[in-house]
Amino acid sequence: MRIFSGIQPTGRKHLGNYIGGITQYVAGQERGDPAIYCIVDLHSTTVDYDPSELRARGYDLEALLIAAGLDPDRCVLFRQSDVKEHTELSWLLSSVTALGELQRMHQFRDKSVAQRELVSAGLLFYPVLMAADVLAYRAHEVPVGEDQREHVELMRDVADRFNRRFGETLVVPEARIPEVGARIRDLQDPTRKMSTTGSSEQGTIYVLDEPDAIMRKFKRAVTDSGTDIVRAPDKPGISNLIELLAVIRGTSAEDAEREFADSRYGDFKVAVGEAVVDYLAPVRERYHELRPDEPELERILAAGADRARGMAQETVADVREKMGVGPPQSLA
Ligand code: ATP
Ligand code: MG
């Protein structure tokens, strides 16, 4: 079972990324043969970004991933742009990608309206590069949050269309989306997902937030006019907090509802905040130990890229051969 997932180095990672993505990556190390995790810096150039910051944000993310439990000896951890096969494969796959599908992607629609200046072709092309990321490794499973379901569907179509057009070559991967915690919501606007690029500062819990900042944000979390601590479609704020507490404790949402049946909103918000503080504290402490040693972080990425490149090169050679691109494989 090969596992692959990518995560963007833009901005600061939040509790949604942590629960929907990172905890799944850590668990995947047990099952993955191998588990491959990629810091997708090329994806982060598709929206407005600061070039003088991008590399440092990659180190931030890498230190955070290791602090959360990724072990470079038990997984392949690397930076996307170090393995040039991703970009080559994305071009090759574009020939079996439908333009109409790209234009329909929610992420493209949401992020293109949010751009103040240029809406880049890269933003439209994002899911093709993401398809190349995964398909280059012939991964079976892609651990992601709910928002990425659509992109995984698209890469399945791409792989399938390639196999039908050029012959069986690529593995059609499956999304692995957690049952609870796949869509953590913004604490100030629980109709929206917590997001790196689109949510409010006060509604976003960053993994590296200090305890008092976390508590302040939970105390101010938007709830609703009722008093019952139960999940309901018209109670997105309270439902979000119940889900959060359940995933953090590893219990069911029903258990959380039962435990707080007689509590008030205010006390419940404090309880969830305290659980989140305890949950993130060891990660934050370990992060600050790891982050200063950039040469070591760079060394880990280089070693990961060497392993990744070997796998990706095999796939790209097969794809080129099937497509009739370049010299015959026997001479290449
Ligand atoms: P952006 O909003 O700019 O796309 P992001 O917050 O989605 O950024 P990514 O690096 O794109 O960050 O996502 C990393 C992983 O986190 C992905 O698997 C994504 O599905 C997951 N994820 C993102 N937001 C949430 C959320 N609110 N709840 C659960 N999982 C999430
Ligand atoms: Mg995203």
Q: What is the pLDDT of residue 330?
A: 79
Q: Give the bridge partners for 79, in sequence order.
A: 39
Nearest residue (by CA) to ligand 1, atom 13, is: 7
Angle separating helix axes 149-166 and 121-135, nearest 10 degrees: 70
Over residues 36-56, the pLDDT tens digits come to: 999 999 999 999 899 999 999
Which sign does the torsion angle of CA 196, 156, 322, 98 carry?
A: negative
pLDDT at 12 over 90: no
Q: Which residues line ligand 1 (CB under 6 A)?
A: 7-8, 16-17, 19-21, 144-145, 147-148, 182-184, 193-198
Pocket test for ligand 1, best of 10, 17, 19, 180 (most atoms within 8 A of CB): 17
Instruction: Provide the percentage of residues in the chain whose pLDDT is more than 70.
Output: 99
Q: Which atom of ligand 1 is nearest to the CA of 197?
A: 3
Among residues 197, 209, 295, the alpha carbon closest in space to that of 15 is found at 209
Q: Give CA–CA dist 179/177, Å, rounded.
A: 6
Cis amide linkage into residue 34, ω under 30° from 0: yes
Which sign does the torsion angle of CA 165, 307, 88, 115 carry?
A: positive
What is the 147 CA–ligand 1 centroid distance (Å)? 7
pLDDT at 169 over 90: yes
User: How does strand 76-79 pair with strand 35-39?
Assistant: parallel
3-state secondary structure the chain: CCEEEEECCCCCCEHHHHHHHHHHHHHHHHHCCCEEEEECCCHHHHCCCCHHHHHHHHHHHHHHHHHHCCCCCCCEEEEHHHCCHHHHHHHHHHCCCCHHHHHHCHHHHHHHHHCCCCCCHHHHHHHHHHHHHHHCCCCCEEECCHHHHHHHHHHHHHHHHHHHHHCCCCCCCEEECCCCCCCCECCCCCCCECCCCCCCCCCCCECCCCHHHHHHHHHCCCCCCCCCCCCCCCCHHHHHHHHHHHHHHCCCHHHHHHHCCCCCHHHHHHHHHHHHHHHHHHHHHHHHHHCCCHHHHHHHHHHHHHHHHHHHHHHHHHHHHHHCCCCCCCCC
Q: What is the pLDDT of residue 11?
A: 62
Nearest residue (by CA) to ligand 1, atom 20, is: 145
What is the 16 CA–ligand 1 centroid distance (Å)? 6
pLDDT at 180 over 90: no
Over residues 22-36, the pLDDT tens digits come to: 999 999 999 999 999
Nearest residue (by CA) to ligand 1, atom 16, is: 17
Over residues 205-261, the pLDDT tens digits come to: 999 999 999 999 999 999 988 899 999 999 999 999 999 999 999 999 999 999 999
